[in-house]
Structure 1
C-alpha cells in the first residue's frame, strides 16, 4: 500500500528541544501538529502515517520513549503495548514503512518495528454496475429482443478479477459484451443481455457478476413482458444504450455519434419527445431523423455531439418518450472536458456499427470501412485491433493503422463477412489504445442464408437524407440514396416511387422497374423549400420484398434570403507540432474546414503557408466548398534551426472575415 513521504521534523531546525528551549518546541508543536493530524492522509480512507517521538523520557515507566502515532490503520485508539520499546524501535518502524534498509542503523537494524500498533492494511477493489436494472418491455413469445447493455467500471486502485457471469430467467448474455476475466483500475466493460420470453406475462430474471470487488456478487435486475404473436404492440429499443465521448477540449464540439432507435414490435411507435436530460444536459446536443411515429420493423437515428462547458467529467442522457413499455427509453452520455493545454489522445470510430445484411453461407461480402480518427492533441498508441465476440470467425478485418496515430490523423479498418452458418451472426472490432474509453468497439452484424433461400431483400444506404439549410425558393444540390437487392430473387416495384413535402426526384436516379439479386440502383432527390423553418418529407417505394413499403425520410430547413452567404469554421484553429529534430519532417497534421453558411464558399488564389511549414499534399480542399460540406488541409513541419518556429496558413475566400488564418507552431531540437 502506497504511503506518502516521511520527514524527520525538528522544531525551528534544532536537533532537540534542549537546544532551543522547551517553550520554543512546545509552541512549534501546537502550531503544526494539529493541522497535520487533520490532513486527509490521516483520516479514514487516507494512507498516511504520523509518528511524534519524545526522547529521553526519564519519568515514564521503564525509562521508555513516549510517542504518538496517528494513522488510519492504527490497531485501536489508546492502544498500550506491554512490550518495551526505545528510540531505535521508532526508527526501525519509520525505515520499514519507507522500505529502507536498516543495515547501517546500528541497534535499530535488529529492533522490532512496532507492527503490533497497526492492523493489516488491505486495498479493497471497488466497482460500479450501471444501470442496476434493465427493462425490455413487450416481446413476442419465442422471439429474441435487441440487446441491452450495462457497464461494469473498476473505480478502485487494483485490478478486479471476474470469476463468473450468470443469468437467470428468460434472458441470455449476448455476444456484444466485452467483460473478460479481469478489469484494470479505471477501465470499464459491457454486459450485453437479450430477452426471449417463453410465456406471456411479466418475466423477471437477473445477471450476477462474481468478482474480487467489495460487495460481490454484483447484480442487475431484469424485467420484461411476453406477449402473444397476435398482440399488436410497439417495442422500442436504443442501440447502443450508452455513448462515451472521452476527452474533449472545453468549448469545442466532438464528432457526432449515432444511436439507433428501433421499433421491433408489431404496432406503430408513437414518439412524443426526444431530448437530452440530466446533470450536464447543456454539454450535449442531439439531432434526429425520427418523426412522430415509427412503423413496426423500422428504425431512425439520433446523432449526439459533445461540447463541454467546463473541465472534468460531464454526464447526461438522451431520453425518448413514447408509447412503448419502459418509456422513457434512455441512453447514457459521458465525456470529459479538458483544457486546451492538456495534451491527450481522443479515439473516434466512424461508423460505430456495420450491418452486412443477408450473405450466403460460405461466401464473402464486399468490404465495409470504418475510420479510426485521433481528434485529440497527443499521439494515439494502438496496442491491438482485432475481431472479438460470439461469431469471431465469421468476420475478418484488415487495417492501415500503425502502432501510433498522430493527433489529427486517421486510418481505416476494412471488414468483410463470411457466415459459417445460417441465422443472425454478430461480433465486434475492438481497438485497444491509450485513449479514454479504450477498448473502442464497432458492432458487427449480419445474417447467414442458405443458397436455396429465395426472395428479394432491400437495403437502403443511407436510410435518410438531410439537406440542411436552403434559401426559400431555391433548389439544393442533388443527394442520393443507394438501394441494393441483398436477397436471392429479382426485386420488382409495384407502381411509381412516391415523394412528399418540398422534395422532388432529380431525374438522375437509375432505378427502373426491377433490380436483380445483388444489384443496386440510385434514387436522386433535391430540395426546394417553399417556406422558412424545418421541412420534412419521405420517399416511399412499394415492392415485392418483406416490410414493403420501404421509406427514406427527408429533412431540410428553409431559410430566408437574409441569411445567405458562406461562413467558415476551422477545427482546430491552430496546429502545434511540438519538438522536431532539425532537418527532419514531422507527421502530418490536419485541419478541417467546414462551410457552415448558406452559399458556396469559393477561394480566390492559392492557399498560402509560411515559416518552416509546408502543405503535405493530403488535403482535399479544391476551388470551392458546398454548403454544409467540409474539406481538409494537411500540414507538415521541417524545422531549419533550433528553437521556437512559427508560421500560418492563409486562405482568401468569399466568406466574412477573410482572409482566414491557421496559426502554426513547433520547436526545432
Structure 2
C-alpha cells in the first residue's frame, strides 16, 4: 500500500511537470513559418522580383515583430511597416525584393526580431528568426551603340561632316530594329535598312551626317527602336556650326612699276583667313617671267583671323611689260585665289655729265669759285648711288644721294674750287650709278694764286754749296717743315702758300755736293697782313 502511494505521487509530479512544459512552450511567443526561406530563382540584372513568406502566431499570447533586417547584395525588405503585433493564431506576410546588380548567385538572410510577454511578470522575451534568401542575377544583354555619343566638333556652314557608328546585339536572341529617327537641325542618318534583324552578337554600321545651315551649337539625338531589352536606344548628337574659312589677299594685285633689267625689286603680300573655321593652303605658285615668291611653304593651316606675310620679287631679264600671277589652292570657301602681278623691264640707262670738264682758271688762295653742271639719264632711269672728288680743293654740292634720275631728265649740281695753295690743281669727280657705265668721271682744273707772298733772302754760304732748303714753322723754335720742293740755288725764296693774319717762322739749311745738310740758320719771322 505504501509502495502504491509512492508510485501515484511520482506520476502526479510528472503530469504537473509536463503541464508546465506545455504551458511554457505555448507561452514562449514563437512564430511559425510556411517555409524556411525564399528562393527568387533567376532575375535579370536591372530588373527585380518580390516574394512573400507567411508567418503565424502559434502561441497563446501576442507576439510583436519589431524588426526585419535583410543581409546580402540585392535583397531588401519592403513591408509591412514595423512593428506589428500578431494575436494568437493570427497570420502576416513579410515581403522581400531581389534586384540583382550583377550576374551570378546571391545569398542572404532576413533576420526577424520578435518579442512576447513572459506570463504576468510584465517582462518581454526577445527572439530572432533567420530566413534564408537566395537568387541568381542573369544578364539579358542589350542593343548597344559604339560610340554612344557623336560629336562633330566644328563644321563650316554648308559643308557635310560624316561620322560612323555601330549597333551591336549583345543579347542571347535575335533583335529586330524597327525604327531609327533623328532629331536636331542638320543631322541625318543612313545605313540602317528597316526592319533590321540582328542575330546574337551581330553588328550593323551606320552613318550620321551633320550639314549645318546656321552658325551656333546644334544638338540632337538618334533614337533606335527595337525588340531588345532596352527597347529605345538613344545616341546623342552635337556639333558647332561656324562660318566657312575665306581666304583674302592684301594687296589684291602687285605692280612693280619700271625695274631696270638685271635689277630686282621685292614687295610684300599677305594672306588672311577671314572666315570662322580653319583653312589649309595646299598649293602656292608664281607664274610670269621674272616673278617669284618666298617665305610661304605649303601645306599651311590658318586659324580664323590668322594671317601670313611673304615676299614677291620681280627681276626682269628683258625690257618690256611683264605680267604674271600668284595662285593659291586651299579648302576655303574660295578654293582658288589669284593675285595679279605686273611690271616693266627697263633697258639699262645711260648717265652723262655736262660739261664733261670744268676749268676754273686762276682763283686766289682763300677764295672760292663755283660752276654749275648737270647729270642726265637716257634710255632708262638711273640711280646715282655715290659721288666723290679726288681733291679736297674741289667740292660737289646741290644733290642728295642716292638720287634717281628718270629717263630724259637732268639734275643740276654745283662744283666749287677752293685752292689751298698757289699753283695748278686738278681733280676727277666720280659718279657711281646703276647705268651701263657704272662709273662716270668729270675732270676739273684750276690754279691757285697767292694773295700774299713772304719774300725770304739770306747771305750765301762762304763754303761751296749745292743749294739751300727752306723750312717753315707755326711757332717760334719749330718744329719746322720744308716748303721748297727742290733745292734752291739762290739765296732767296718766295713763300706764296701763306694765309692772311698768320705769323710764320723760317730757317734755312745749306746742302753740299755730297748731300750733307748743315744745321738750321738763325730764325726769321713774318706776319702776313689781313686783306
TM-score by length of 1: 0.20
TM-score by length of 2: 0.24
- Larger of the two Rg values belongs to structure: 2
In proportion to residue count, which structure has more strand? 2
